Amino acid sequence: MSVPVDREQALARLQERFLLTDEQLDTMRALQGYRRQHVRPVHDGLQRMQFEMLGLLQAPALDRPAVDSLLREMVAALDSLERMSLGMLLRVRAILTPEQLVELPHLFGGLQQPGSRPGPERPGPGGPPPPPGPGGR
């Protein structure tokens, strides 16, 4: 089975940036396949659940059992995503040299400190503005 060009190009950029050995590149390729086969479907399912939840919350009559059930499914999907992502990160760490590990945060688009993501309390680029204060300001 052939890997699409864009994935091979991404792997080539990784190999160039990290000076990956052929063995390391093979592991990265395998992780890319794992992500495509296992992580992506869970991520896509979670997105579908988020739209479904939005529909439930916007319905004229709230179906609380359906909301609770869907919330449990969403939490399970999030847990699964976190476990798979951490497993992949640990696998990558295990194959990199100490010199390559210095660049690891760049590999994952910048690993963030817990609580540093933009959100209502921490707006950032593209993040939502904070809620209005007292009196709607």
Mean pLDDT of 36-60: 96
74-90 pLDDT tens trace: 999 999 999 999 999 99
* Most confident of the following: 5-9, 57-61, 125-129: 57-61
In the Cβ-directed half-sphere of 64, how many Cα atoms lie within 13 Å?
0
For the whole model, what pTM was predicted? Answer: 0.68
Mean pLDDT of 88-93: 92
102 or 70: which carries more pLDDT confidence? 70
Select the CATH number that applies to the domain covering 5-109 from these four: 1.20.120, 3.40.50, 1.10.3470, 3.30.70.
1.20.120
* Domain assignments of the chain as residue spans, ordered by start: 5-109
Of the candidates 90, 100, 82, 14, the one whose C-alpha atom is nearest the C-alpha of residue 42 is 82
